[in-house]
Structure 1
Amino acid sequence: MTVPDVVVLDYGSGNLRSVVRAVERAGATVTLTSDFDTALAADGLVVPGVGAYAACMAGLREIKGERIIGRRLSGGRPVLGICVGMQILFAGGVEHGVETDGCDEWPGLVTRLEADVVPHMGWNTVEAPEGTQLFAGVEDERFYFVHSYAARSWDLVTNERTAAPLVTWAEHGGDRFVAAVENGPLSATQFHPEKSGDAGAALLRNWVATLSA
């Protein structure tokens, strides 16, 4: 079996080294780069992200990252977003009353969690849907979250000709939010699989396995 090559996109955001190591342990050859052509050509692309939505989008646009993501997806080439790297896939994000345009791969806004304790920091279970590939074997495990914002609704409407995305949910302080999405070649997690121990490692192995399929 060939070992898939994965690019972790370097746009100035994210726990890049820990993501690189985690994806390597999951069975891929990993390159950390912001190079447009290298990121476009890889078997898989990981888009990490931490910090403010607006800062992440600014860094992404600086390396034309939104175009890399769009072109990969139009060709059916896999992309995995992590944490803010998931949030920027939505139409926009609102922080401190300011709305920032996202990559608009999915409709809807990322907004502040409405819970007594924010940020949501620590281990939490998820509600994975039937047929999930990402969570195969770890549907009942806990994953590590660190965030104050999330997509708190799922607004994408699909028709009968396209497969509906698989949406995984989680809850914090009574507020329900999107924890992960599997949408054809585009997958994403609000939590950090690279910080989620054995469960996160299994999820990354599941994703890497799809690159060789």
Structure 2
Amino acid sequence: MAELAGLEAQIGVRLPEEYRTFLLRVGAGGAGPAYGTFPVRRTADRWGWEGDGADLADWSRLAEPFPAAPLDPTALRTLLERCPQEEDFTDTDEDFDTAYEAWDEQWGEVMWAPQRTVGAIVLCHLGCAARQWLVVSGPERGRIWNDDRADEVDLAPLLDTGGRPVTFARWYLDWLDAAEQQLSGTPR
């Protein structure tokens, strides 16, 4: 309990109750959905999450409300349509490379702007640079969000089959149920 209090004091936010319970009763990470739940650990001087992409979260801004509003779909589509295509460049590969690098820089400024994920921590890696985040501040607090930005798809809430937002406990327990069924050979 004292370690959790130390973590929360450092990051300036009380973690969502379901995640707090997980940290106190299950563990600080490890087995879980996809490639496992990123562990939270203390180094010599501070707490932090470890894993491929865990450092995408700005731990100094976790108390700020997560900006749940998606990017303007029309602006996003327009930017994607402006992505240079190699077949449109007949002169040299260098011209395409220059155009693509300029577009990619603009894309990165829009999609990967640090303010897009304030108030959230990266929970796990799904492979191919896809991740899932746990929102810790704001109206989406306690909910899981998908991050497929590496595939040119905006951040989006994880929804269950009924279209309802998935919380940390539902996310983790669904994974446990699926793992148990897989091990027992029982179809889902």
Shorter-chain-normalised TM-score: which range?
under 0.3
Relative to its length, the structure with more helix (as a share) is 2
- TM score, norm. by length of structure 2: 0.28
The structure that has the greater radius of gyration is: 2
